[in-house]
Amino acid sequence: MEPTLPAVKESALDPARALRDEVVAAGEPWLARIGKGQVLRIVDLEGNQAVDTLFFNAHDAQEHYSATRTIQAQRALYLGLGTTLVSSEGRPMLTIVADTCGRHDTLGGACSCESNTVRYAFGKRFMHSCRDNFMAAIASDPEGQLTKADIAANINFFMNVPVTPEGGLTFADGISGPGKYVEMQAHMDLTVLISNCPQLNNPCNAYNPTPVRCLVWDAC
């Protein structure tokens, strides 16, 4: 079941005026904190990269992005322009205010050594994964806010996971391209946890993990 792509919208924000502008290397994690009203942009620099992302209340890690509540609130499986990401407490966390890709996955989850084993072969068990990235970022965070128990179902920005008529999931070639981005404005102080997916066994990133760029602007 291939959905119709929603409208796309360019941003007026100037990268030269960003408070933060960082490139996340292929297959690596990124953890940052952004304030209420600030804007986060994630740029798919080379195209077809999957960016596994979680958001947490910066003051209470038990409140996190909820795939279930977000899907219920917007009555749609995919994220796009105008979508409000909803927390586990039913509160708005961010709204997508600009988007040049058009659709983002809520269902595919994060790869792990276990899923690599089940999906691809026992010999894939030790391949680097998004779960590993999340754990590495948490372990190196000087604030120590998050633990492995806090990891919930994540968003996969730019990733293409069509739902079949029978209700199954398929990992397909991405719909993104070089330089496409998604931009969100925060409704609360947030901790952002990203794994720039290192997966090599399915076409979510064209079998070739590439860098992404993360920019943050002050409240508009």
Which residues are paired to 183 by β-bridges?
A: 41, 98
- pLDDT tens digits, one per residue of 134-165: 999 999 999 999 999 999 999 999 988 777 77
- As for how many domains the chain has, the answer is 1
Which residues are paired to 79 by β-bridges?
A: 104
- The DSSP letter of residue 132 is H
As a whole number, the mean pLDDT across the chain is 87
Lowest-confidence region among 15-19, 33-37, 47-51, 119-123: 119-123
Alpha-carbon torsion, ordered 156, 152, 68, 77, to 10 deg: 10
Instruction: Read off the pLDDT of each residue in 68-88 and give the average, rounded to a whole number.
Output: 94
Query: Has residue 129 been placed in a domain?
Result: yes
Query: Has residue 171 been placed in a domain?
Result: yes
- pLDDT tens digits, one per residue of 62-73: 999 999 999 999
Query: Has residue 113 been placed in a domain?
Result: yes
Could you list the beta-strand ranges (E) of 6-67.
20-24, 29-34, 39-44, 51-57, 60-64
pLDDT at residue 124, as a whole number: 53
Query: Has residue 3 been placed in a domain?
Result: no
d(CA 207, CA 220): 37
Instruction: Read off the pLDDT of each residue in 108-129 and give the average, rounded to a whole number.
Output: 59
pLDDT at residue 189, as a whole number: 98
- pLDDT tens digits, one per residue of 176-219: 999 999 999 999 999 999 999 876 666 667 778 999 999 999 97
Q: Is the dihedral of CA 192, 193, 197, 199 positive or negative?
A: negative
d(CA 163, CA 123): 28
Structural domain boundaries, residue 194: 26-217
Query: Has residue 110 been placed in a domain?
Result: yes
pTM: 0.89
Number of Cβ atoms within 10 Å of the Cβ of 215? 21
Query: Has residue 47 been placed in a domain?
Result: yes
Taking alpha carbons only, the member of 75, 101, 85 closest to residue 187 is 85
- Residue 42 pLDDT greater than 70, yes or no: yes
Query: Has residue 20 been placed in a domain?
Result: no
Query: Has residue 8 been placed in a domain?
Result: no
**Confidence at 107, pLDDT banded by 50, 70, 90:** confident
% residues pLDDT > 70 (the chain): 84
Instruction: Read off the pLDDT of each residue in 78-92 and give the average, rounded to a whole number.
Output: 96
% residues pLDDT > 90 (the chain): 66
